[in-house]
């Protein structure tokens, strides 16, 4: 039996009004392309714990959590209290504060490859400066990256992010597809596209290694499907890179939430640099680059191998540093284990519903993350996640069904859990999906 909200989802009149105003000031009505609309977005009013309230008075279980950032849900009381106190003392300074040292010490203590840290303001900046650091250290311009993975908005990191069957090229040599028209051709010339879980394709990396500074890899490609690595793939990738002096950058901006030591440690990857963000800011803007001391030295001295100047007006601001420390401090080993158990319960329950209904769906993900695919077999790489028109329509129906049941499931059906959630919420998710499949089978 599906768990119902106290009241049915109401109209979106207030959201419609705000969107009309937004259309007068923003090119497409909002200021982020990632904002979902069907046909207009729902405007948020407030959040508390695992739930969000919109301006029309609807209350939803939030499985987006601002794109996986809010691991403690909304308005986490210890952060609200601490940040309120800090704001009375100042929100940002040109001078350093103790807060940045405390958070850096925690990250170095937890994340095995991280020996030194540099703070920035977003995941995009973290990836960008990690790539620049690899170039400065190796003296090489090009990068390799996994097809379909999302790594932010740096030109080189965007190449190969959004290919389609018409553009992505042959499987043995994926094309470096630009994200937007007018992107300099020279950018694509310096990006090698690899397919996830393609062991044979790793030879291409070694063929051009004399120009490669780094391989950028998400240990579990999130935007590309929340796909698990085949046994041995990540180690083979690292071995191929290191044989040629190519650095490994683990993009854990999203997947750091997979465990106390992060995703690379969870899956046996030993990167040289790690890009971090989202959960380490406690709900405030943040990014961080961490890694080997000798590589990170490019940020700190004009002597020796390379030098990379890096600054930012709001980098290491005390609000983000303090909120991030409190958020991470609350993420104990036990709390990560509890979140993983909740995630296992959801993925197991969803998979059981699929089997029970004989439905053409599959589930991927790990720890506190899951994704529902409108495909019978779980994908192993990005091309297998690509949805045709019928599959896209199925996802739209799934999103709308969850919404009508009081659950904000992202339209791509990739979701995250938060620490305020428990058995009631995981049961609600599984029952809602089971109810959807019951109705789908009647069509």
Q: Give the phi and the psi of residue 423 in degrees, each rounded to 5.
A: -60, -40
Which H or E run contains 362? Answer: strand 362-364
* pLDDT (tens digit per residue) in 15-33: 999 999 999 999 999 999 8
| pLDDT value, residue 8 | 53
Using the 3D structure, point to which of 279, 299, 330 is the last residue of a domain. 330
* pLDDT (tens digit per residue) in 355-413: 999 999 999 999 999 999 999 999 999 999 999 999 999 999 999 999 999 999 999 99
User: Based on the structure, what is the number of domains in the chain?
Assistant: 2
Length of the chain, in residues? 443
Output the six-digit token pair for 159. Answer: 């190449």
107 and 44 within one domain: no
pLDDT band at 351 (very low <50, low <70, confident <90, very high): very high
Using the 3D structure, point to which of 330, 356, 391 is the last residue of a domain. 330
383 and 308 within one domain: no
pLDDT band at 303 (very low <50, low <70, confident <90, very high): low
β-bridge partners, 59 = 53
Is the pLDDT reported for residue 4 higher than 90?
A: no
pLDDT band at 7 (very low <50, low <70, confident <90, very high): very low
* pLDDT (tens digit per residue) in 104-115: 999 999 999 999
DSSP string covering 12-62: -HHHHHHHHHHHTTSTTSSS-TT---SSSPPPEEEEEBTEEEETTS-EEEE
Which residue is it, tokens 């959590």?
Answer: 65
285 and 171 within one domain: yes
* Distance (Å, whole) CA 274 – CA 292: 9
- The DSSP 8-state label assigned to residue 199 in this structure reads S
Which H or E run contains 214? Answer: strand 212-217
* pLDDT (tens digit per residue) in 78-105: 999 999 999 999 999 999 999 999 999 9
Is 7 within a domain? no
β-bridge partners, 287 = 120, 277
Q: Residues 71, 418: contact at Cβ < 8 Å? A: yes
226 and 90 within one domain: yes
Cβ–Cβ contacts within 10 Å for residue 312, how many?
Answer: 15
85 and 60 within one domain: no
346: cis peptide before it, omega within 30°?
no
Is the pLDDT reported for residue 332 higher than 80?
A: yes
Give the domain CATH number at 104: 3.40.640.10
67 and 102 within one domain: no
Q: Residues 219, 172: contact at Cβ < 8 Å? A: no
418 and 279 within one domain: no
Report the share of the chain in percent with pLDDT over 70. 96
pLDDT band at 12 (very low <50, low <70, confident <90, very high): confident
| pLDDT value, residue 305 | 66
Sign, Cα dihedral of 80, 83, 89, 91: negative
Q: Could you give the 3-state DSSP secondary structure of residue 217?
A: strand
Quick one: which of 61, 39, 12 has its CA closest to 403? 61
Is 116 within a domain? yes
* Distance (Å, whole) CA 92 – CA 284: 13
Using the 3D structure, point to which of 330, 345, 380 is the last residue of a domain. 330
Is 5 within a domain? no
Is the pLDDT reported for residue 284 higher than 60?
A: yes
105 and 27 within one domain: no
pTM for this prediction: 0.95
Is the pLDDT reported for residue 304 higher than 90?
A: no
Is the pLDDT reported for residue 268 higher than 60?
A: yes
pLDDT band at 6 (very low <50, low <70, confident <90, very high): very low
Is 4 within a domain? no
Domain carrying residue 363 = 13-71+333-440
* Distance (Å, whole) CA 414 – CA 404: 18
145 and 237 within one domain: yes
126 and 206 within one domain: yes
Residue with more model confidence, 229 or 441: 229
Is 260 within a domain? yes
Is 418 within a domain? yes
Residues with Cβ within 8 Å of residue 163, at least 6 apart in sequence: 147, 148, 169, 174, 175, 177, 382
Mean pLDDT of the residues in the chain: 95
106: cis peptide before it, omega within 30°?
no
Task: Give the mean pLDDT of 72-83.
Answer: 98
Is 3 within a domain? no
Burial code of 232-259, b = ≥16 C-beta within 10 A, e = fewer?
A: ebbeebbebbeeeebbbbbbbbbbbbbb
305 and 396 within one domain: no
26 and 158 within one domain: no
Is 55 within a domain? yes
Output the six-digit token pair for 82. Answer: 């601490």
* Distance (Å, whole) CA 422 – CA 410: 20
Name the least confident of 168-177, 270-279, 432-441. Answer: 432-441
pLDDT band at 3 (very low <50, low <70, confident <90, very high): very low
* Distance (Å, whole) CA 377 – CA 39: 30
- The DSSP 8-state label assigned to residue 227 in this structure reads P
Give the domain CATH number at 35: 3.90.1150.10
Quick one: which of 223, 160, 238 has its CA closest to 195? 160
């Amino acid at each position: 039996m599906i768990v119902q909200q106290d009241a049915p989802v109401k109209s979106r009149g207030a959201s419609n009004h705000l969107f009309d105003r937004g259309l007068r000031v923003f090119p497409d009505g909002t200021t982020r392309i990632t904002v979902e609309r069907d046909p207009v977005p729902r405007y948020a009013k407030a959040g508390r714990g695992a739930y969000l309230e919109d301006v029309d008075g609807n209350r939803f279980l939030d499985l987006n959590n601002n794109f996986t950032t809010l691991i403690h849900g909304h308005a986490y009381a210890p952060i609200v209290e601490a940040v309120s106190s800090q704001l009375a003392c100042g929100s940002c300074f040109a001078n350093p504060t103790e807060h940045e040292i405390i958070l850096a010490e925690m990250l170095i203590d937890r994340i095995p490859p991280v020996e030194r840290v540099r703070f920035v303001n977003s995941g995009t900046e973290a990836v960008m400066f990690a790539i620049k650091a690899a170039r400065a250290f190796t003296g090489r311009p090009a990068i390799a990256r996994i097809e379909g993975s999302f790594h932010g908005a740096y030109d080189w990191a965007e190449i190969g992010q959004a290919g389609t069957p018409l553009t992505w090229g042959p499987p043995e040599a994926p094309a470096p597809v630009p994200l937007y028209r007018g992107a300099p051709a020279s950018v694509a010339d310096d990006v090698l596209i690899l397919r996830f879980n393609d062991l044979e394709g790793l030879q291409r990396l070694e063929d051009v290694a004399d120009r490669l500074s780094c391989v950028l890899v998400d240990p579990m490609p999130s935007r590309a499907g929340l796909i698990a690595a085949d046994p041995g793939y990540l180690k083979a990738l690292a071995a191929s890179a290191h044989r040629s002096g190519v650095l490994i950058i683990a993009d854990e901006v999203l997947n750091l939430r997979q465990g106390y030591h992060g995703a690379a440690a969870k899956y046996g990857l030993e990167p040289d640099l790690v890009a971090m963000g989202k959960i380490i800011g406690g709900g405030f803007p943040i990014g961080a680059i961490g890694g080997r001391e000798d590589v990170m030295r490019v940020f700190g001295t004009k002597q020796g191998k390379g030098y990379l100047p890096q600054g930012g007006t709001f980098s290491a601001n005390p609000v983000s540093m303090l909120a991030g420390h409190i958020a991470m401090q609350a993420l104990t080993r036990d709390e990560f284990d509890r979140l993983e158990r909740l995630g296992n319960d959801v993925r197991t329950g969803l998979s059981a519903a699929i089997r029970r209904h004989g439905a053409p769906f599959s589930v991927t993900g790990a720890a506190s993350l899951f994704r529902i695919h409108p495909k019978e077999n779980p994908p192993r790489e990005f091309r297998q996640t690509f949805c045709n028109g019928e599959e896209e329509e199925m996802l739209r129906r799934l999103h709308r069904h969850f919404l009508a049941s009081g659950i904000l499931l992202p339209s791509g059906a990739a979701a995250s859990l938060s620490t305020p959630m428990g058995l009631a919420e995981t049961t609600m998710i599984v029952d809602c999906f089971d109810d959807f499949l019951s109705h789908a089978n009647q069509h």
